[in-house]
Amino acid sequence: MGIAQWRAGEGPRDKLLERGEQALSDAELLAIMLRSGYRNCSALQLACDLLEQFDGLSGLMRVDRARLVAWPGVGDAKYAQLRAALEMARRQALQAARSSDVLSSPDETLRFLHYHLGSHEREVFCCIFLDSQHQVLCCDDLFFGTLDGAAVYPREVATRALQHRAAAVIFAHNHPSGVAEPSSADRRITERLCAALGLLDIRVLDHVIIARGREFSFAREGLI
C-alpha cells in the first residue's frame, strides 16, 4: 500500500501536515520518502522492516546500493530517493555552516559533519577551510580509505589550504567501526597537520571524529 492509499487523517503524510514533521517517528518519515511498499506490505511496514534490518536511520544510510536494492520493495528508484534526501540534508547543513560563525555555532558544524561523514562505510578525511573571520570557505573530502583507515598527507592539506587562502581549518574524519575515540595514528597525524599548517600561520581549530551518532572533538578534550 502506498502513502496515497491511506485514508484521510490516518497516514504519515496527514500526520505531518496536521502536527508537523517533528511529530513523526523515524518509520513514518521514512515511509513518506519511500512513498509505496509492495504487495501485502505498506510503505510504513516496509520502513519499519528496513529500520529494524539495518539498525535505524544512520545504519540504513550507510548500506551499500547492492544490498539495499535487493531488499523486497526497494529497488533503484527508492534507493535514489533516499540518497537524494541524504544529500539535501548535507547541503542544507553546509549552507547553514557557511552562513554562521562556526566558532559560535559548534553544534551546527557537528551537525553538518554527521550528515557529511556519518553515512560512509569507508573512512573519509575532510577539511573545512575558513577565512580570517572563521566563515566557511569550502569543505573538501581529501583522503579516502578502507574500513580501517585513510592515508593523510600534510603536504596535500597545506596545498589545499593555500589554494583556498584559508586562515584556519577544521579536520574531520569518520570511524565506520562506530568507536569515536581517536587511535594513536589519529593523534599522530593531528600533531603533524598542526605542525605543518603552523609553519604557514594557518590555525587548526579542531579535529572531529564522527562515529555512528557520536563524535570526538580534539579541541573539546583540550588536545588542540
Q: Domain boundaries in the chain?
A: 3-88, 102-217
The answer to whether the predicted template modeling score (pTM) of the entire model surpasses 0.85 is no
Residue 3 in this model has a pLDDT that exceeds 60: no
Give the confidence band of 60 by pLDDT, cuts at 50, 70, 90: confident
pLDDT per position as a tens digit, 14-24 = 888 888 888 88
Nearest to 128 by CA among 183, 72, 80, 170: 170
Q: Crossing angle, helix 154-163 and helix 184-198, to 10 degrees?
A: 40
Residue 2 in this model has a pLDDT that exceeds 60: no
Residue 84 in this model has a pLDDT that exceeds 70: yes
Query: How far is Cα 76 from Cα 70, in angstroms, rounded to an integer?
Result: 9
What CATH fold (topology level) applies to the domain 102-217?
Cytidine Deaminase; domain 2 (3.40.140)
- Summarize the confidence of residues 174-199 as an average pLDDT: 93
Output DSSP code: residue 42: -
Residue 1 in this model has a pLDDT that exceeds 50: no
